């Protein structure tokens, strides 16, 4: 397929990897922010093919994984109401809350539905005027335009029985928080190409100037990622720190301005908690007053009093910050598997723990061979970014 096959070319990928080997002279730690890139790296074995001097660490770029436990429990409470039809992307249904997940609610009779677009929620609302349809609006800047447009359409069409439980987060403040953390050491970043397709990469330029760290906008295929790593290594070896675009076929500096406009029409910046990390200032979106009538938390204020309980065994917060690799968590592959997950990173199609399990990265584990976790069978991916 045009624009796909050539970016999966083995010879091109190996040539780029060879150039990285010729270029690198000292250890560098590079973080790929996006969970989709993490899965591509492990699926294609790039982490094992790179020279030992280049270590890839995995960032908080899985929107399902960073959705705070409080929001998951609120979603479960709303989905359990008889007067609500709860609508979500498929990734969210198996994310563990304090006591259960959305699949458990559906199994118990809750009206929980999976959609591929937030606009599907409006159709469900028009067909079920006796129920309030609540859409779980999560994700990074990539899903924000469609979610905002759904709200605009609801208002324009006078659909009153629609609401959205919002947990939108943004990438640049998360990178800033990581660089401010004394526990995190990252020399360079691979920025997510799809986020930059929407937002452009102008937002990263102040970060590069402030922290003197290179950022390379990168795609998702093996050639994309290898090229992004090479460009980042070249900057590091030369003592440069710039924003470079290795995904020019999709990304412009200014991004998609109409998409940015609809986001800014419906949402405004706010502080947001990230699961396993904590509150990152001005890292998310909330409804502007003009659209507050569609805020599910305001429409159902009783969910504000929900108490949460995080697993004491789950170290996904350290995984999301690049402090630990998933297979360095004592619970990985033991107490925590895709069949019995302790955290969202083990069930999301973009979660780092799920990638390590699926692609057999058990190196740090001390598990007898006859107890080695079985790889998952291929399954359809219902992802949100």
- Residue 298 CA to residue 287 CA, distance in Å, equals 10
Second CATH level (architecture) for the domain 1-358: 3-Layer(aba) Sandwich (3.40)
Helix intervals (H) in the chain = 10-23, 35-43, 46-49, 63-66, 69-79, 102-107, 119-127, 144-156, 171-180, 193-199, 205-211, 222-238, 257-266, 296-299, 316-320, 352-358
Of the pLDDT bands very low, low, confident and very high (cuts 50, 70, 90), residue 364 is low
Q: Find, among 364, 283, 322, the residue nearest to 68 by Cα.
A: 283
157 pLDDT above the threshold of 50: yes
Residue with the two structure tokens 């690049």 = 322
Mean pLDDT along residues 9-17? 95
| pLDDT tens digit sequence for 188-206 | 999 999 999 999 999 999 9
Asked if 175 and 207 touch (Cβ cutoff 8 Å), the reply is: yes
Average pLDDT estimate for 350-379: 63
Residues in Cβ contact with 96 at an 8 Å cutoff, skipping those fewer than 6 apart = 72, 311, 341, 342, 343, 344, 347
3-state secondary structure of 330: coil
Name the average pLDDT for the chain.
91
Adjacent-strand bridge partners of 192: 218
Distance CA 322, CA 306 (A): 30
Could you report the per-residue pLDDT of 203-226, keeping only the tens digit for each? Answer: 999 999 999 999 999 999 999 999
pLDDT at 382: 36
Per-residue pLDDT tens for 314-362?
999 999 999 999 999 999 999 999 988 998 999 998 999 999 999 988 8
Tokens 């999709």: give the residue: 250
136 close to 86: Cβ distance less than 8 angstroms: yes
Pairing of strands 188-192, 162-169: unpaired
The residues that bridge with 215 in the sheet, in sequence order, are 189, 243
- Per-domain boundaries in the chain: 1-358
Per-residue pLDDT at 35: 92
pLDDT (tens digit per residue) in 92-127: 999 999 999 999 999 999 999 999 999 999 999 999
């Amino acid at each position: 397929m045009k624009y796909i096959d050539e970016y999966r070319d083995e010879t091109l990928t190996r040539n780029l990897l060879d150039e990285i080997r010729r270029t690198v002279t000292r250890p560098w730690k590079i973080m790929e922010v996006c969970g989709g890139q993490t899965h591509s790296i492990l699926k294609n074995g790039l982490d094992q093919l790179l020279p030992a001097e280049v270590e890839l660490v995995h960032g908080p770029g899985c929107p399902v994984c960073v959705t705070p436990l409080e929001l998951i429990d609120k979603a479960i409470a709303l989905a359990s109401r008889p007067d609500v039809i709860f609508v979500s992307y498929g990734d969210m249904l198996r994310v563990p809350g304090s006591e259960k997940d959305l699949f458990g609610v559906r199994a118990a009779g809750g009206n929980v539905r999976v959609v591929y677009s937030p606009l599907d929620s409006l159709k469900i609302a028009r067909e079920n005027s006796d129920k309030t349809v609540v859409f779980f609006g999560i994700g990074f800047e990539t899903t924000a335009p469609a979610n905002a447009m759904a709200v605009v359409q609801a208002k324009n069409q006078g659909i009153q029985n629609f609401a959205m439980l919002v947990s939108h987060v943004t990438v640049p403040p998360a990178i800033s928080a990581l660089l401010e953390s004394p526990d995190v050491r990252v020399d360079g970043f691979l920025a997510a190409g799809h986020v930059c397709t929407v937002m452009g990469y102008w937002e990263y330029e102040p970060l590069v100037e402030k922290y003197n760290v290179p950022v390379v906008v990168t795609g998702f295929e093996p050639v994309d990622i290898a090229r992004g790593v090479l460009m980042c290594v070249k900057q590091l070896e030369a003592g440069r720190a710039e924003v470079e675009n290795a995904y020019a076929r999709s990304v412009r500096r200014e991004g998609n301005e109409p998409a940015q406009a609809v986001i800014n029409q419906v949402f405004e910046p706010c502080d947001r908690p990230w699961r396993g990390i904590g509150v990152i200032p001005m890292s998310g979106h909330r409804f502007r007053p003009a659209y507050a009538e569609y805020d599910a938390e305001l429409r159902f204020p009783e969910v504000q009093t929900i108490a949460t309980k995080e697993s004491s065994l789950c170290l996904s917060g350290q995984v999301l910050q690049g402090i630990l690799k998933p297979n360095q968590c004592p619970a990985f592959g033991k107490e925590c598997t895709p069949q019995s997950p302790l955290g969202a990173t083990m069930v999301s199609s973009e979660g780092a723990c799920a990638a390590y399990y699926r692609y057999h990265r058990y190196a740090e584990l001390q598990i007898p061979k006859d107890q080695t976790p079985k790889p998952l069978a291929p399954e359809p991916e219902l992802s949100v970014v």
